[in-house]
Structure 1
């Protein structure tokens, strides 16, 4: 894989020769991707030294990386070619890991394992899936990320031939993207509290990814398709990542009042006096407060929640559809002026989902 790593045109979607780990590590570092050793034959980091294995020892303040040791996994990742020569030259069996955050990478890790489906609310977090929808055949991450992409009207990352994709030994797929500058995207697992989709992990800040060409006891991490460099993270996928909480919490000042025209629309329907309407007004205030910061305020998530509530009020006969959309648009434009296309998609999706569960004075139907 040595020549292929340096010449993207020489790759094919079929099997390619595999470079030695040292060549792979150099290739990654030459692209500004900090590397660290993986245990021979495995996809996990090489073990710490004896001192670093002691209970309570933490990577912060540890002198091992500065002393040239690879302790603490991706925290020791380096671009230093001399250190790379030292580590992999003396340990040719090491695999290669890449620290995603410092590399400016976000990798969508799609799992191919068929498992029992979780509850419908966990398949696509934040998106309601009606009981009337037949889920027969939905079995893994390729399916859930495909459904999410189809709902948004875009190509699934699994089929994105514009970017580097790497087939894993287990049949999964790593889809590599260049992260937006200044965004500290966070890792997640497809079965965790924060998730993009069921059976779909996200590797970003605070995580690492196995380098293309790495050989483990289970097989090779093999590039597929024509692209050999990560493409920029698609805007639609960035919006979904923000909606599902993949940006770190940011300081957000106390909620500002709901913009006057938005509040007027809620009050016109009696929303300022009825319990459910008061909930909507509070949610609109959270959306409006996102104006204080440009990112990390969970704007998409908050707008989606407000739209879902508004949809329930509409279905319950407590708010006119036009008034609901008007109130949501006013709050969204206040928070993210000039992003009409983005917030319109969120509003329509949330309203549609909310209408499936009418919100009545006593609660959801």
Structure 2
């Protein structure tokens, strides 16, 4: 994706269809998107029912039914859904759910506030009282100091990756994460985890505003240099892990996983595939695709079940599009795996499966592998 900054419309927002086109470009890049409130950097408002009951995203029927409630939890790759959302309100901004997109964004702030205590400037790194802190005023300074300790340039100066200037004078530095190395979100003042004072981390559990988005405060403008995110530098990855940002690995049970009867029935139906692949080869492919979903059964919470089911559904949609599997067989496999991992959440799983398969259907898988 090569983000472009559109010409600002007379009403102070994006030109007609600019947000829709930006959302579609992101989705085609594999970055799930969700609407932002017009002219703002915050998610679009929940529907009246969600506002009235004040429930969380977990189990909300709106997500399964394709409504843009609960912010980044509604993020999708489904182009039909995206066109419906932005077609109903072309003034929506575009947010990207960082974790599912495989992104981590270093959000450097330049707020005018009182300097934090020494032990909060660089969490876990002692700053002796003998060091003069005069001139240390923002996140641009603290991230530069952290980089200097590693004899590396500051991410703010990293023109080999996508950098976006924010209307408030801050900077978003976009990176891709390595497979299996997703990073959690945090704020620079967070007590649970933090990278540096006035430096937020946008990762799993957070979202980022797309470049080119226009708000009341101004435009999120791409800076000179690279226009796509590069792989997260090793030193910065190590610092994020040191400060507690690395997503804990999912430890699968060592006991044999019992295959539910519905899954066995689905495998039986799947043997009537349309291609030249043998049933056993297809079974092995399906088992690999569903492995991460099945493993969620061993972890009641924090296993990223929704994302893993969405990824499996995306791949199964590709198998269907390539003629290697019927729609019904794919849905049966996914439903059985979801029921095994999260019993009693069929409605939630159905929405994820439907969205993921629809997106995957746009990318047929003609090989024996999976994505």
Coarse TM-score class (shorter-chain normalised): 0.5 to 0.7
Aligned to 1:216: 215
Partners of 1:205 and 1:250 in 2: CA distance: 13
The answer to whether structure 1 residue 34 and structure 2 residue 63 are counterparts is no
Partners of 1:83 and 1:169 in 2: CA distance: 29
3-state SS of the aligned residue for 2:179? Answer: coil
Cα offset for 1:134?
0.8
Per-residue Cα deviation, 1:269-290 (whole angstroms, up to 9, x for no partner): xxxxxxxxxxxxxxxxxxxxxx
Aligned to 1:203: 202
CA contact (8 A) 2:19 2:86 kept: yes
Paired residues for 1:279-290 under 5 Å: none
Partners of 2:248 and 2:154 in 1: CA distance: 28
Structure 1 residues 56 and 38: alpha-carbon distance in aligned structure 2, compared to 1, 3 A threshold:
closer
Cα offset for 1:90?
1.6
Cα offset for 1:104?
0.3
CA contact (8 A) 2:66 2:81 kept: yes
Aligned to 2:184: 186
Structure 1 residues 97 and 153: alpha-carbon distance in aligned structure 2, compared to 1, 3 A threshold:
same
Partners of 1:23 and 1:238 in 2: CA distance: 32
Per-residue Cα deviation, 1:274-329 (whole angstroms, up to 9, x for no partner): xxxxxxxxxxxxxxxxxxxxxxxxxxxxxxxxxxxxxxxxxxxxxxxxxxxxxxxx
Aligned to 1:43: 41
3-state SS of the aligned residue for 2:62? Answer: coil
> Which protein shows a greater Rg?
1
Aligned to 1:157: 155
Cα offset for 1:55?
4.0
CA root-mean-square deviation:
1.7
Instruction: List alignment gaps of at least 5 residues for structure 1.
Output: 253-365
Which protein, 1 or 2, shows the higher relative CO under an 8 Å CA cutoff with sep ≥ 6?
Answer: 2
Per-residue Cα deviation, 1:30-57 (whole angstroms, up to 9, x for no partner): 1110000000111000011111113451
Aligned to 1:112: 110
- Structure 1 stretches of at least 4 aligned residues deviating more than 6 Å after TM superposition: none
After TM superposition, the score normalised by the length of structure 1 is 0.64
Partners of 1:58 and 1:127 in 2: CA distance: 36
Q: More deviation in 33-42 or 54-63?
A: 54-63
Structure 1 residues 90 and 16: alpha-carbon distance in aligned structure 2, compared to 1, 3 A threshold:
closer
Partners of 1:70 and 1:58 in 2: CA distance: 13
Partners of 2:97 and 2:73 in 1: CA distance: 8
Number of aligned pairs?
Answer: 242
Structure 1 residues 192 and 90: alpha-carbon distance in aligned structure 2, compared to 1, 3 A threshold:
same
Cα offset for 1:249?
4.5
Cα offset for 1:250?
5.7
Partners of 2:43 and 2:250 in 1: CA distance: 34
Instruction: List alignment gaps of at least 5 residues for structure 2.
Output: 9-14, 252-371
Aligned to 2:326: none
Paired residues for 1:325-344 under 5 Å: none
3-state SS of the aligned residue for 1:98? Answer: strand
CA contact (8 A) 2:185 2:200 kept: yes
Cα offset for 1:248?
3.6
Cα offset for 1:61?
1.2
Partners of 1:103 and 1:115 in 2: CA distance: 32
Structure 1 residues 250 and 81: alpha-carbon distance in aligned structure 2, compared to 1, 3 A threshold:
closer
Partners of 2:73 and 2:155 in 1: CA distance: 28
Partners of 2:189 and 2:24 in 1: CA distance: 34
Partners of 2:215 and 2:238 in 1: CA distance: 34
Per-residue Cα deviation, 1:117-150 (whole angstroms, up to 9, x for no partner): 1110100111111111111110000000001001
Partners of 1:109 and 1:55 in 2: CA distance: 32
Partners of 1:154 and 1:16 in 2: CA distance: 34
Partners of 1:215 and 1:183 in 2: CA distance: 31
Partners of 1:133 and 1:32 in 2: CA distance: 45
Cα offset for 1:65?
2.1
Partners of 2:39 and 2:77 in 1: CA distance: 23
